[in-house]
Every structure is written in C-alpha cells, then in structure tokens.
Chain A
C-alpha cells in the first residue's frame, strides 16, 4: 500500500477546547485551539460568559447607584474603575474636586494598582508552572492592602467609596501611618518576587521570547497598559493626559523593548516600584481639608452632554463614555475595557507557539473577564 503525501507524516489538526471553567483561563473564558501536535495553529476565543449588562443596568440607576456596578466591572482594581466613572460624572456636572480628595484618590488608586499587579504575579506564576509559592506570596501582600481598604471603605473588594465630587467619607485618622506600614509590607513583597522569579533560570526559559508582539502590531490591536509598554510604546494615560495630581509627583513610565511575556512581567514589576514611589510622595503631601465640594446637591443631576474620560487602570486604558440628556441618570454608558482590546492580540501572539506557552501568553496579558464581558 502506498500513501501519497507531501509530508512524511500528515496528521489531522486537533481541536482542543480550553475553558470556560478552567484555572488557566482566569475566569470564564473559552478558547478553542487548533493544535498540530503540540503547536497552536489557530485560536478561536469565545467571550460573553460573564456578560451581565452592567452598562445597560447603569442607565436605570442614578449616578450614586451606578458606582456599585462599576466596582463589579473591574473587580481586581475596583478603585480605578470607580475613578473613571466618577471623573466622567464630574466632568459632566462640572464639579470641582477638593485637593485632599484628589490626593486620597491617587493613593487609593495606586494601592489598588499594586494589589492588582500582585494578583497578576501570583496567577502568572501558576500559569508558568511555579505552582503555589508566588501565588501565596502575592496573597500575603495583597491582604495587607485589602485590609487597609477595609479600614477605609468598609469592604474588601467592592469599595463604593469614591463619589462624584470627592469621597463618600473621610479616611480614618491613622490613615497615613497605616499606609506606610502597608507600603513596607509591599516593598518586601516586591523584593520577594524579584528574588523568586526575575533571575530564576527556569522562569526565564519559560517566558523569554514567548508571545512576541511588535510595537506596530500592538498599536494596531489597540492594546494599552503594561502589555503595550512591554513592546516599547511609552503609552501611559497618566503621562499623556494627566488627571488627579500625576503631574505633581515624580515617577517614570516603565517600558521594555522585547515585547515578549518576560518583558510584560518586568514591566509590571517595575510599575509596582513606581506605584510605591507615587504613594509615598502623595502621603508626604496629604493635608487636611475638605473632601467634598461645598454645596453638593442631595441628588446629583447633570446637564445634557457627552464626555469620554480615560484613566490608566492596571490593565490599561479604562475609559468611560457617558451621555446625559439631563436628569439624574446616564442616558448611555459605555465602558472601554482595556482587557477586551488586549485579548484580541491573543491569537496573534500565540499562533506558532506550544500549547503550554499559549496559556502563559493568556496569563501575561492579565485579563479580568468581568471587564471583558461587562
């Protein structure tokens, strides 16, 4: 019998289903991989498992009620999501936020960035195969930050603490001392991660040169956040369109040129150090004062108009597009999710890699599925 074939062995491609409920997909994300042996030929992603209609729900809520839904949009960095929303409402209602409220917001947002990046470090460690150790280390420092948030806002994940105009209530009196304590713990945690992973030959072998994306491609995909900065594009909304007080503190935009998974890891590690620096400067400059503008109406109403506000969330540009036709609730709310755009590049980055590496690539863009689906 003669088998006529161009190749020595011609095998059929296999369709491999990953998810939606699988630890490596970071939530309920499903992808169907077309694999040729161990090599990924194609990826078909399926999203929408966590779609809750949060944008539509917000249209039926007044501006204060909507904050709770923004928390749930981006649950690992709820302060950042809240910030975009309240800033959009403030821009529409033309509210002037007092200085103290702005400094406190900045501290909270940067601490939330730290906790989110710590979560990335832990989950990414598991993806790479360093099972357990970094995950538990990350939990430890994240717990310190979350405990601090609990003392301030009362809740551990869904803070509902920022309000259009300022803050819901003032921080506790020992806030600065507790923040410094937390930063000491976080600095130790960053040093631990650095020692554990950065120079570890196994980790480097697993991540270097994997999931490359060039700067031009990253821009084409509309990526943002650490994922694009790792490709050498110094895009950071905090620097491009400074909001809060980012112009008044000294910090650097961390970029790497390699554009691979390892660069994305280093980028986040560097960003954590920058966040610590920012929080320290904010704590030095925090002064007593008002936290809400005088004469806040009991029920906030906005004039007709539309506004797009973007802020730099841990995963990239978190934008809120808000249309008002007057009244106390939005006419239309659209959330521009950084994760959704970053996720589009998954196929581009993983095709031609091994199956195990595709999982690392997915982990390296650090998706939160509730933000992707909303």
Chain B
C-alpha cells in the first residue's frame, strides 16, 4: 500500500504545479528563429521582384522532387531599360507542400538566398480541404515576404559561433 500512497503523493505534487499547456488555437507558442515550416520565396523589396533567378539548383537538390521551376528573361533588366541586375528571373514556381519533407536542403543550395524556410505560424497552419490546394504557385510563395511578414533565417553552413 505504501507504494500506491507514494504514487498518489506524486500525482498530488504534480497537480499543484503550474500548468504547462496552452490554449492552442487562441494562444500560440512563440516560435524560435530557426523554426522550419515550409519553404517560401523571398522578395527583394529594393527592386520589387523576387530574389529567385530560376536557376534550378533547389529543384535538382530536392530529395523528394517537390519543386517545379521555370525561368524567363527579366523584363526589368538594365539592358532593356529596367533597374534590375538579374538577367533571368523566375517565371513560374510550384512547391508541392504535401510532398515537401522540410529538410532545408533547398535553402542550403540556393546561391542567391532567395528561398527560406517559413519560421512563422502561417507556415504551420496550412490545412486545406483538397490536396491540390497544397501546390503553391509563385504568387502564394512570395506574398508573405512581399508583405514583409517574415524575418527569415538563412543558415550559414558549417560556420562556428563567434565567442
């Protein structure tokens, strides 16, 4: 009986501790900076176009082949009277969020820091009724960064902390 009494005492002591749960849909846990939800494309606010040049590096590196990239000549390039230095720019971009396994490899291989993992709650709460709606197009992928709704964290690979 003493063992059971001790068990009850443990339960009682836990009962008196403050709760650790949150009222989830109403209260969100603050996410760390490095949080990885799904990848999205970043928007160059200075020139008002995406950073992405459509170089296919992420498409080739993706282990689950969830990306489709098409590039085009940049209509805003300096040679045709624009103010952008990007000769090529992204034309169409689809990421199938249903396939993506959030491994961060696309972010690592990007030479232009044009793609980042979403570290906000909007990247996690993506439930839809139809699986087809999880295929995100260019507009959907860039809109959050366009609005300035993300402070992205692009990892510096293999570099140690300064101390």
Contacts and interface: CB of A to CB of B under 8 A. Distances in A.
Interface string B1-22: 1111011011100100000100
B117 interface: yes
A170 B161 contact: yes
B63 interface: yes
Interface stretch (B32-40, B71-79, B87-95, B138-146): B32-40
A22 interface: no
The interface centre, meaning the residue of B11, B32, B61, B159 with most chain A CB atoms within 10 A of its CB, is B32
Contact of A296 (B10, B20, B158): B158
B72 to A, nearest CB: 28
A217 interface: no
Contact of B32 (A150, A165, A296): A150
Interface residues of A, number: 47
Contact of B63 (A61, A150, A155, A169): A61
Interface string B114-132: 0001010000000000000
B3 A154 contact: no
A200 B20 contact: no
A336 interface: no
A208 to B, nearest CB: 12
The interface centre, meaning the residue of B1, B7, B14, B155 with most chain A CB atoms within 10 A of its CB, is B7
Contact of B10 (A65, A158, A196): A196
A319 interface: no
B103 A197 contact: no
B160 A288 contact: yes
Contact of A153 (B11, B34, B158): B34
Contact of A68 (B35, B63, B161): B63
Interface string A178-200: 00000000000000100111011
A195 B9 contact: yes
Interface residues of B, number: 33
B35 A200 contact: no
A64 B117 CA distance: 18
Contacts of A14: none
Contacts of B155: 168-169
A216 interface: no
B105 A64 contact: yes
Given A150-B35, A151-B34, A196-B11, A65 B63 contact: yes
A290 B163 CA distance: 11
Interface in A281-306: 288-292, 296
B158 A292 contact: yes
Contacts of B7: 195-197, 199-200
A140 B18 CA distance: 12
Nearest to B31: A150
B85 interface: no
A244 B150 CA distance: 38
B4 A169 contact: no
A151 B153 CA distance: 12
Contacts of B1: 201
A167 B63 CA distance: 19
A113 interface: no
B158 A168 contact: yes
A290 B63 CA distance: 28
A66 B61 CA distance: 11
B104 interface: yes
Nearest to B101: A68
Given A158-B103, A166-B158, A65 B61 contact: yes
The interface centre, meaning the residue of B35, B103, B117, B156 with most chain A CB atoms within 10 A of its CB, is B103
Contact of A170 (B9, B108, B160): B160
23 contacts: A61-B63, A66-B63, A68-B101, A69-B63, A137-B14, A150-B34, A153-B36, A155-B36, A158-B102, A158-B103, A160-B103, A165-B158, A168-B158, A169-B155, A173-B161, A192-B14, A199-B3, A200-B3, A201-B4, A288-B160, A290-B160, A291-B159, A291-B160
Given A169-B155, A200-B3, 5 more contacts: A150-B34, A150-B35, A169-B157, A195-B9, A291-B160
6 closest A-B pairs by CB: A292-B158, A195-B10, A199-B3, A154-B36, A65-B63, A154-B34
Interface of A: 61, 64-69, 72, 100, 133, 137, 140, 143, 150-155, 158, 160, 163, 165-173, 192, 195-197, 199-204, 288-292, 296
